[in-house]
Structure 1
Amino acid sequence: MDVPLKKKTVYPQKYRKEWETQEEFKMWLRPVSNDPTKAFCKFCHAEVYARIGDIKKHKETKKHKEKSDLVNKNKQLEFLPASKDNTNSLKIEGTLALFIAEHTSIQQIDHLTEALKKCISDSKSVMDIKMHRSKCSAVIKNVLAPHFKQKLLDDIDSQKYSLLLDESTDLSVSKLLGVVIRYFSSTHKKVVSSFLALQPLKTADARGIVTALVNCLEEHSLPIKKLIGIGVDNASVMTGIHNSVHTILKTEYGLPNLILVRCVCHSLQLAVSHASEHTLPRNIEFLIRETYNWFSHSPKRYEQYKDIYETINCGEKPLKILRSCDTRWLSVEETVTRILSQWEELKLLFSLHKDKCFTADQLHSMYADEKNLLYMNFLRSILNDVQIGVKTFESENANHVALLNTLMTLLRSVCTRVLMPSAATTDNDYLTIKIEAHLNPVPYLGYLFETHAQKTSLTDDVIKAVRKRCIDFTVKLAKEIQQRLPSNYIILEKMCLLSVDNTLRQGKDNRIADLAKELGFNDEAIDKLLQQWHGVNFVQWTATRDVIDFWIEVRNYKNAAGINTFQELSDLALSAMSLPHSNAEVERAFSAMNIVKNKLRNKMAVNTLNSILFIRNQLKIMKKTCYSYELPSDVISAVGKNWKYSKIDPSQPSTSVEPSPCQDDEEIPNEVFNVDF
C-alpha cells in the first residue's frame, strides 16, 4: 500500500523593503498599500506579484524598458533651499509661473524658458532657471494658489460673508458649482466679490449642491456659521420652499437667519421673456433670430451687405448684427437697437435676394411691413429702461441706495406707460397695484413708438391693434416684475437705513433692530447697537459722501480711552453691505472658465483650473499684474523645495500611496515631477 506524500505548505512571498535599496529596483519599485503580496511599478503603473523572479521578468518587458528609457533621458534635479546664490533664479521662476497662470497655457513655459536663456545668456540667474511644464504646473498649484488663498483667508478673518452660487457644465461635460464669496475687505477698503472655487457636483439636486458647498467651505477653512446670505438665480432647486438649497442650509446647518437674494438680472431676463411669449407676434422673434443667422456662417453675404451699406452711407462700415441669447441678460435690447439702426439697408439687401432664397423673401416681407417697425421701436424704448436696471445690478461696486432707486425707477417707468396718472404715488403702490384695474385709456408708449405711429401709412385700425399688443406686453412685464422683485425691494429698503443721510439724521426710529435680527445678532448685541444707532449722529464725521468710506471711519473710531464705542453698529453695516444683489460675478467666473479650459486644454483637472482662476481673480482684485506683484520671500523659498513638486509634505507622516494615472493634459504624474524640468 502506497502512502501518499505529505503536501508541502506554500507560504506567499511578501514585499520586502530591502528591494528598494537595490540599484536595479530603487527608481521604480514600491509597495502596494492594501496588498503586501504585490509590488507596484511606478514607471508602468502596473502591479506584479512580490516575488523576485516576477519582478525581474517585469523589468525585462518591452513596456518597462520604454518607460525606463524615457525617465533616464531626463536628468533628475535636486532643488536646493533658497540662498543668496539662487534666490534671483527662484524669483524669476515664480514670476514666470505667475505670468503663465495669468495669460497663457502652461505648455508655453518650455519655449519661454529656453528663449530667455538664449537672449540673456550673460546672466547667471537666468541660466540657472530650471522651469518647464511639469514644474510650472506644480508651482501654480502647490505654491502660488495656496499663497493667494491664504491672503484671502487672512483678509476675511472672522467677518461675516455671503456666497454667490450657480451651476454650470464645463467643456468636458463635468457639472460644477461656482462659488464666489462676498465680504468687506479691510485690505482694499471696500466690499469685494472674490472667486472661491469651482466645486465638482456628484448630483445636481439640492442635496448634492449643499454637500459640495459644505465641502468647499471646509477646504477653505471658512466657518459656515459666519454665512449670512446666498445669492442665487431663480431656479427652484435653489429657492424652493421645500427641499431646496436655501431650506436645507437653514434647517440642517443651523442658519435660521440665512438671507436668500434672488438675482435681479435673472429676474428681469425672465420677466421680459415671459412677457413677450404670449403678447408680441411670433414674427418679431423670427425677424431678430434669422437676421443674425443670415450673416453668421457666410462671409460672402456679409461682404455683399457691407458694399450696400457703404454705398448708401458714403463709405461708413456697418456694425455687425448681434445675436439674441437667453444666457446673456437682455441681449435682445442690443440686438433690436442694432437692427433698427440699419433697417433700410437690411430691407434693401433682402429685396435683392428674395427671389433666390425663401428666408430672404420672408425677411424682406417683414422688413417692408411697417407694423414690425412699430413693434421694434416699442421694444427698443421699453427694453432700454430694463437694460439700465440690468447694467446697474451687474456692477460690483454699486451701493444699495442706488440699487433701490434704480429698481423703483425701472418699475415706475414701466407702469407709468399704461397706468392712470394718479393711480400710484408711492413706491409701495407700484409694487402692489393691480395694473388692469387702473389702465390709462390713452397710454403713451414712448417717444419712438408714438412718433413712428404718426409717420406710418398704416390705417388707424392696424395701429390700434399694434398698440393693443404693446399695451398687453407692458402690463404683462409690469406684473412679472411685481411678482419677482418685492423680496429684493424689502432687503434693499432695510439696507438703505444704513445710508449716510439716514444714519446722521435726528429722530430716527428703531427699525435697524429688525435688520440686525435678520443678520443673526443676539439680543445683547442689538441692545448695544440701538444705543450706538441713536448716538452716532453726535460725532463729527469727515467721510459723509460715500457710504463705505463712512462706515470704515465709524469702524476705526476710538474715544479718549481708545475704545471703539460703535463696534456693533459698524459690524452690522459692513455685514449688510456684504449681501449680494446679483449673480454677475459667478457668470464672469464661468466665462473665465471657458477661456482657460478650452478645446485645446479639454483634459485640464479641476485642481489646475481652480488654481489658475483663483490667481487671476486675486490679481484683478489687487489691481496687480504678473510683473508688478512682488512675491514674498516665503513664496520664493517654496519654489525651490522638492516636496512642492512631489506633493509629499515632510511635515506630514509618510504613507505608502499608490500613484494614480494622470488625467490632466497640463499635469505630469507624481513620479515625473522630479525628473522632467
Structure 2
Amino acid sequence: MEKFLKRKNLIVEGIPSIGEGASDDHSKRRHVEINLEGLPSDPGLRKNIFSYHPNDRDRIRRHYLQQGPCQPKGHDFPQKKIGNIYRRFVPKWFEEHGNWLEYSVSKDAAFCLCCYLYRPNSRAQSSGEVFVSDGYTNWKKKEKFNEHVGGPDSAHNRAWRSCEDLMKQQQHIQFAFAKQSTQARKDYRIRLTASLDCIRLLLSQGMAFRGHDESIESTNQGNFLMLLRFLAGHNDDIKKVVLNNAPGNQKMIAPDIQKDLVRACAMETTNVILHEVGEEYFSILVDESRDISVKEQMALAIRFVNSKGCVVERFIGIVHVRDTKASSLKAAIEVLFLKHNLSLSKVRGQGYDGASNMRGEFNGLKALILQENSSAYYVHCFAHQLQLALVAVAKKKPQVAAFFNLVNNITTIVGASCKRKDLLQEKQIERLLGAFDCGELSTGTGSNQERSLQRAGDTRWGSHYRSLINLSMVFTPVIEVLQIVEEDGTAEQSGDACLLLGVVPTFEFAFILHLMTTILAITNQLSLALQRKDQDIVNAMALVEVAKQHLQDMRDEGWESLISEVSIFCEKNDIEILDMKDMYKTPGRGRPQRKGEVLTNLNYFRFELFNGVIDWQLQELNNRFNEANTNLLLCVSCLSPKSSFVAFNKSKLIELAHCYPLEFSEVSFRLLDKQLETYIRDMRSHEEFSNLESIGDLSQRLVATGRHIVHPLVYLLVKLALVLPVATASVERYFSAMKIVKSRLRNKMGDSWMNDCLVTYIEREVFCKIDAERILHSFQVMRPRREQL
C-alpha cells in the first residue's frame, strides 16, 4: 500500500506500516500530509481521497476531477486502453459503494483507503486484505465488495466512521488552535457575502473589476471597490465589518480573493449546466475568433434536450489555441471535455461554420471526431450557407456586383468624416420636416428615426439587407451630400462624387436597389428563423423550402408590383422613368449595350436582371442546402408532426435508428417496430397532438403528457433529431460577448480569468439563480482559509 501511495504521489508521514495498527482515538490520530506537486494525470483514487483537512481533500478531488474519468465506451463501461486491451469497470458498483471504493486506472484495481488509514491491529479482523495491499481485480466476483464491508461493527465500518470523523471541520486541529468567536464568524460571513454580491453584479453586466489607481487617496478605485463602498454606505451591518473596519488582513478585497470568488461562481454555474445535461446526448458547436489582444480563441457550446423536452444551447468554455489546425482544435475540445467530465461518446452532432479546417473530408475536425464516434453527424451551419449563397449572387452577376461596389463607395465617401455624417443627418431632418408640413408623414413612437449608412460585409449576417434598406430610406439626402462633396471636396473626392452622381440617380440603380432589397427581405426572414436556439433541422429545411417557393412566386408574379414600386421611388426622388418599350442604352454611353445585339428595356430589366438574379439565387440555395438529399435528414423528417403526422414512415424511422448503433441493439429494433405502431395510433387519436408544427413542439408535448415514458424508444429518436445543430448563431453571440468582457481597456486578461467571466456573463440566466451559499462553500473549500464560515 505504501508503494501504491507513493505511486500516486501521496506523501504519508506517521502512518503505521502494513504490520502496524492505527488507533481509532481522535486524539491519537496520525497526521497525513498530501503533496499536490507532480500529481499524475492518471485519475486513480479520483472519487474519495481523505486527508487531514477537508480543504486538502477537496483540493485533491478537484485536481483529479479536472483530469476527467476514463473515457466511456457505450452506455455502461468506462474504459482505459492499454495497448490493444481495454480495461473496464462497472460504474454501478462504484455508485453503490462510492463512499469507500476507489479505482486506479493504471492498475485496473479497486482499493479501500479508509481501511489502510485506520486498519485494526489484527489482520484477521480486516475483511478483505486485498483491498488494502494489492488492490482487488477479480471483477467477476462483485460479492466480495459486500464481504469487505461486513456488518455494522465490522473493521471496515469502524475505519470508515473514523474517516468521517476526520473530515468534520470542527474536529480539525487548526480549528481548535484558531478558534473563532461566534461574532467573528458572523462578521466574516457578512464581509464575504458583501464582496460576493458586488462581484455577482459586475459579472452579470460584463463590467471590469479593478481600476488604474486603487489607493486610498484615489477618487476612482475601480468598479469593485466603489460598489463595495456604495453597498456599505447603505447598510450599517455591512459598513461595520468591511474595508477600514475589517481586520487588516481579512478585508476580502484582494485581487486573489476576487479571482477565487469569480472562479467559484463559474464553477457553480458550470455545475448547474452539467447537471442539466446529465446523461443526455448532445451536439457540439465550435468556432474560433481572435480577441482584442490578437489571441485565437475557440468557443465551445453544447446543444441538448433538457428534462422538459426543450432544446437548450449552453456555453461550456473558451480556450486559447495557438493555431487553428484540426488536430489542435480537437485537442482543445478534449481538454474542455476532461475538465467538465464530458465524453465524446455522448456527442451526436457537430456544427461548424464550414471552414476547411472544420469540414475537411479527411483531416478536418469533423473527420477526426467521426473516427472516434461515428454517430457524431456533421451539419454545416445553415445561416452560414445562406450568407454564402447571398455573397455568391452578389459576386457572380456582373450588374449586381457593380451595384454593391457602388453602394460601398457611397458609404465610404458619405461616411468618410464626422462632418459628412452630420451633414447627412441635417439633410434627413430637413426632408422629414418638409414631409410633415406637407402631410406626407405622420408622427409616432419609434417612427421616422434617423438613418445612417451601413457597410455590407460578406461574413456579417443580414448586413447586405440592412445596408440597402438604409440607403433607400436616405436616398435623396445622400445625393445632396454627394453634390456638396463634388463642389467642395478635394480633387480626388470631387472626382469620385462626380462618377457616383452619374450612375446612382438612374433608373437602373433604383431598379437593382429594389430588386435586391425584395430578395434579401425574403432571405433575411429565413436567416432570423435559423438563428433561433430551439430550431430543429426538419423545421429549418421546411423554412428553406418556403423561401425558395417565395422566390419562385416572385419570379412568376412579382414583376408588375416591383416595377410599380420602382416607378414610385423614381418619381419621389426626381429620377427619369424609362419606357419599357424603348431600346436599352448603357448609362452614360448613348449606345446599345452590346454591339450587334438590340435589347429593349423590358428585355433587359425583366429577363436579364429580374429573372436572371432570381434564378441565380434559387440555384445557389439549391446547391448550398443539399443536405435535404442525405439519407439521415430524410429519415428525420418522418418525425414531423405537421398535418397529423402525415410524414410518418415506420421503415424510415427504423432506418434512422440504424444510424445510431450504440443506442439501439437488435432487441431494441424489434421493440421499436412494435412501439412505432402504438405511437402513431396514440398520436393521431388525441386532439392535443393534432396542431403541432415542429419536432420541438412534439418533444415538449410528449414530456408534458408523460408519453415520453410510454414510448421511450420513439422519444429517444426525437431527442437525437433535435440535438442535430441547425446554426452556430449561439457561438457567434458568444464572440460578441467576448468583445464586451475583454475590451480594449481589459486586453491583458488571462485566459482562465476571461473564461470564468464569460461563463457567468453569457449564462447569467443560470448564474443569477444560484444560491449564494453554494458559491461561498465552493470558495471556502477552494484552498485553506484562515476564517471559517
Normalising by the smaller structure, the TM-score range is: 0.7 to 0.9
Q: Aligned residues, how many?
A: 541
Matches within 5 A, 1:568-579: 568-579=713-724
Other structure's SS at 2:504 match: helix
Q: Is the 8 A contact 2:194 2:228 kept in 1?
A: no
1:543 deviates by 5.1
Q: Is the 8 A contact 1:378 1:449 kept in 2?
A: no
Q: Is the 8 A contact 1:543 1:549 kept in 2?
A: no
2:533 maps to 396
Using the alignment, how far apart are the partners of 1:447 and 1:126 within structure 2? Answer: 73
2:561 maps to 447
2:65 maps to none
Uncovered stretches (5+) of structure 2, i.e. residues with no partner: 1-34, 39-177, 211-222, 435-447, 571-576, 586-600
1:172 maps to 293
Q: 1:587-645: per-residue Cα shift (whole Å, max 9, x none)? A: 0011111111111111111111111111122223x4x74xxx35253322333457178
Other structure's SS at 1:590 match: helix
More displaced, 123-132 or 333-342?
A: 123-132
Q: Is the 8 A contact 1:494 1:515 kept in 2?
A: yes
Q: Is the 8 A contact 1:276 1:473 kept in 2?
A: no
Using the alignment, how far apart are the partners of 1:632 and 1:205 within structure 2? Answer: 41
Q: 1:352 to 1:635 in 2, by over 3 A?
A: closer
Q: Is the 8 A contact 2:302 2:313 kept in 1?
A: yes
Identical-residue share of aligned pairs (%): 18
Q: Is the 8 A contact 2:650 2:673 kept in 1?
A: no
Q: Is the 8 A contact 2:414 2:481 kept in 1?
A: no
Q: Is the 8 A contact 1:90 1:637 kept in 2?
A: no
1:494 deviates by 3.4
Task: Write the letter of the residue equivalent to 1:497.
Answer: C
1:221 deviates by 1.0
1:501 deviates by 4.4
Q: Is the 8 A contact 1:385 1:410 kept in 2?
A: yes
Q: 1:572 to 1:402 in 2, by over 3 A?
A: closer
Using the alignment, how far apart are the partners of 1:291 and 1:361 within structure 2? Answer: 11
2:227 aligned residue (112, 128, 148): 112
Using the alignment, how far apart are the partners of 1:498 and 1:180 within structure 2? Answer: 26
Using the alignment, how far apart are the partners of 1:130 and 1:416 within structure 2? Answer: 70
Q: CA RMSD in A?
A: 3.4
1:172 deviates by 1.5
2:584 maps to 461
Q: 1:399-426: per-residue Cα shift (whole Å, max 9, x none)? A: 44542321101122334555xx7xxxxx
Q: 1:459-479: per-residue Cα shift (whole Å, max 9, x none)? A: 442433344144333222222
Q: Is the 8 A contact 2:330 2:368 kept in 1?
A: yes
Using the alignment, how far apart are the partners of 1:446 and 1:611 within structure 2? Answer: 57
Task: Write the letter of the residue equivalent to 2:549.
Answer: R
Q: Is the 8 A contact 2:283 2:725 kept in 1?
A: yes
1:240 maps to 360
Whether 1:348 and 2:480 are equivalent positions in the alignment is: yes
Using the alignment, how far apart are the partners of 1:226 and 1:615 within structure 2? Answer: 25
2:91 maps to none
Q: Is the 8 A contact 2:187 2:241 kept in 1?
A: no
Whether 1:517 and 2:634 are equivalent positions in the alignment is: no
2:625 maps to 485
Q: Which has the higher contact order (CA 8 A, sep 6+)?
A: 1
1:570 deviates by 1.1
2:201 aligned residue (99, 102, 126): 99
1:375 deviates by 1.0
Other structure's SS at 1:535 match: helix
Q: 1:332-351: per-residue Cα shift (whole Å, max 9, x none)? A: 11111111122223222222
Q: 1:371-406: per-residue Cα shift (whole Å, max 9, x none)? A: 111111111111111111111101112344542321
Q: Is the 8 A contact 1:90 1:640 kept in 2?
A: no
Q: 1:453 to 1:530 in 2, by over 3 A?
A: farther
1:568 deviates by 1.8
2:747 maps to 602
Task: Write the letter of the residue equivalent to 1:181.
Answer: I
Matches within 5 A, 1:267-306: 267-281=385-399, 282-306=401-425
2:347 maps to 227
Q: 1:194 to 1:466 in 2, by over 3 A?
A: same
More displaced, 196-205 or 308-317?
A: 308-317
Q: 1:513 to 1:131 in 2, by over 3 A?
A: same
Q: 1:352-378: per-residue Cα shift (whole Å, max 9, x none)? A: 332332232222222222211111111
1:335 aligned residue (450, 464, 467): 467
2:283 maps to 162
1:101 deviates by 1.3
Matches within 5 A, 1:230-629: 230-251=350-371, 253=372, 255-281=373-399, 282-314=401-433, 318-355=450-487, 356=489, 357-418=494-555, 444-445=558-559, 447-449=561-563, 451-452=565-566, 456-457=577-578, 459-462=582-585, 463=601, 464-467=603-606, 468-488=608-628, 490=630, 492-501=633-642, 508-520=649-661, 521-522=663-664, 523-539=666-682, 544=689, 545=691, 547-548=695-696, 550-552=698-700, 554-555=702-703, 564-620=709-765, 622=766, 625=768, 629=769
Q: Is the 8 A contact 2:387 2:461 kept in 1?
A: yes
Other structure's SS at 2:453 match: coil
Uncovered stretches (5+) of structure 1, i.e. residues with no partner: 1-30, 35-76, 422-442, 647-673
After TM superposition, the score normalised by the length of structure 1 is 0.73
More displaced, 278-287 or 161-170?
A: 278-287
After TM superposition, the score normalised by the length of structure 2 is 0.63
